[in-house]
């Protein structure tokens, strides 16, 4: 139940951020906003301020901003024509639509900047256990050794250590360790082993047979570096998300990996137990995914509208109403199919876990 509540709050915040992007861009560019709704279905709460009605609805799986004159066929009084979305220049309409996904990406940068300012736990490169008969044991590594450097490269975390070892299967590596206050130089040859990437692809990596001691340090960044790392995290996650989508289409990653709201609830529950930093990082990751998905060139999504605007810019005139209607029906069918797949996979995971 706790995971469900956290997931609802998390999705609510991200939906609010997304719609806030549309709302603020519309207001700044002189487009009238008739309704700002978080959720769909029956109203739980609403209030009207100026020309805009603010709504909290029953189903928390989305939201929308209703713009004045959003439908080109909608009748708009002459006095409101100047604030009508459909009567605005192409660049204004494009900016208003793109602002939603942009705010999701910007939110991820802000959240991760805060995370790096607060401090993230870094697993120290301290050996906790050496596997019997492993390359590490043959090289003379012992429990308690602090890895200082490998091949002259300074090692500051267990992640640094793993990255160097995995990239050098079968290659002798000069390892400097701190042991009982003294530095000792050893040579270890990582054993080539088959492993899988985060996308399930096979690859050969190096393994030496050591287990981390499990000791951490907290690393805090100054404001500038926190911002830089926040941007880096967001860019890296955008790249990995896009690569993952391509690999699903290529069937490298199975379609069963696609998840929906149930999976988000399960993951949110785990992140709550892991601490605030993990939960905030998870929120940033979901925000990035929400922004990217909304940029898909599928009618009814923001990306679909941007596609229509691109065609309009090339042709010099808007796409016909009939074409938009047919495209939106196809887009709706695609979204429903994806949602059905996601729920099917989520339910399959629940059933599988219960066996």
pLDDT one-digit tens code per residue, 67-113: 998 887 777 787 778 999 998 999 999 999 999 999 999 999 999 99
Same domain, 92 and 56: yes
Residues 190 and 286 in one domain: no
Where does the pLDDT of residue 355 fall: very low under 50, low under 70, confident under 90, or very high at 90 and above?
A: very low
Q: What are the tens digits of pLDDT across the range 306-332?
A: 999 999 999 998 888 888 889 989 988
The catalytic residue among 19, 77, 180, 182 is: 19
Answer yes or no: do 212 and 262 share one domain.
Answer: no
pLDDT 10s digits, 212-271: 999 999 999 999 999 999 999 999 999 988 888 888 777 776 777 777 666 676 777 777
Domain residue limits at 159: 121-218
113 and 245, same domain (yes or no): yes
Based on the domain organization, do 212 and 269 belong to the same domain?
Answer: no
Q: Do residues 83 and 36 both lie within one domain?
A: yes
3-state secondary structure the chain: CHHHHHHHHHHHHHHHHHHHHHHHHHHHCCCCEEEEEEEEEEEEEEEEECCEEEEEEEEEEEEEEEECCCCCCCCCCHHHHHHCHHHCCHHHHHHHHHHHHHHHHHHHHHHHHHHHHHCEEEECCEEEEECCCCHHHHHCCCCCCEEEEECCEECCCHHHHHHHHHCCCCCCEEEEEEECCEEEEEEECCEEEEEECCCCCEEEEEECCEEECCCEEEECCCHHHHHHHHHHHHHHHHHHHHHHHHHHHCCCCCHHHCCCHHHHHHHHHHHHHHCHHHHHHHHHHHHHHHHHHHCCCCCCCHHHHHHHHHHHHHHCCCCCHHHHHHHHHHHHHHHHHHHHHHHHHHHHHHHHHHC
Shared domain for 125 and 205, answered yes or no, is yes
CATH number of the structural domain spanning residue 214:
2.30.42.10
Q: Are residues 6 and 114 in the same domain?
A: yes
Same domain, 284 and 317: yes
Whether residue 130 sits in one domain with residue 41: no
73 tagged catalytic: no
Instruction: Say if residue 341's pLDDT is above 90.
Output: no
Could you tell me if 16 and 63 are in contact, meaning their C-beta atoms sit under 8 angstroms apart? yes
Alpha-carbon distance values, 152 to 47, 123, 143, 163 (Å): 64, 20, 22, 14
Total residues found in the chain within this entry: 355
Unique residue bearing structure tokens 């088959």? 194
Mean pLDDT of the region 174-199: 91
Q: Verify that 244 and 114 share a domain, yes or no.
A: yes
Spatial CA neighbour of 153 closest among 138, 120, 175: 175
């Amino acid at each position: 139940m706790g995971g469900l509540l956290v997931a609802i709050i998390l999705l609510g915040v991200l939906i609010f951020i997304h719609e806030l992007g549309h709302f603020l861009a519309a207001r700044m560019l002189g487009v009238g906003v008739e309704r700002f709704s978080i959720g769909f279905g029956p109203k739980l709460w609403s209030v009207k301020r100026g020309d805009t009605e603010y709504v909290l609805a029953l189903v928390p799986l989305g939201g929308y901003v209703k713009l004045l004159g959003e439908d080109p066929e909608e009748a708009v009084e002459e006095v409101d024509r100047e604030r009508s979305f459909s009567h605005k220049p192409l660049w204004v309409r494009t900016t208003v639509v793109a602002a939603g996904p942009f705010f999701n990406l910007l939110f991820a940068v802000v959240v991760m900047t805060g995370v790096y300012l607060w401090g993230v736990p870094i697993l120290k490169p301290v050996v906790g256990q050496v596997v019997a008969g492993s390359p590490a044991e043959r090289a003379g590594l012992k429990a308690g050794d602090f890895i200082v450097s490998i091949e002259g490269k300074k090692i500051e975390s267990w992640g640094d250590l793993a990255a160097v070892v995995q990239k050098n299967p079968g290659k002798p590596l000069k390892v400097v360790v701190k042991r009982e206050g003294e530095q000792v130089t050893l040579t270890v040859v990582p054993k080539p082993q088959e492993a899988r990437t985060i996308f399930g692809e096979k690859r050969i990596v190096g393994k030496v047979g050591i287990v981390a001691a499990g000791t951490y340090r907290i690393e805090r960044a100054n404001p500038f570096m926190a911002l830089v790392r926040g941007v880096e995290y967001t860019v890296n996650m955008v790249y990995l998300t896009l690569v993952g989508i391509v690999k699903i289409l290529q069937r490298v990653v199975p379609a069963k990996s696609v998840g929906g709201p149930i999976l988000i609830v399960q993951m949110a529950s785990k992140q709550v137990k892991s601490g605030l930093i993990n939960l905030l990082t998870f929120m940033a990751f979901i925000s990035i995914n929400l922004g990217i998905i909304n940029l898909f060139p599928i009618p009814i999504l923001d990306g679909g509208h941007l596609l229509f605007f691109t065609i309009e810019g090339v042709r010099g005139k808007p796409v016909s109403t009939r074409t938009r209607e047919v495209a939106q029906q196809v887009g709706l069918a695609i979204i429903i199919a994806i949602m059905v797949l996601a729920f099917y996979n989520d339910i399959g995971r629940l059933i599988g876990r219960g066996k």
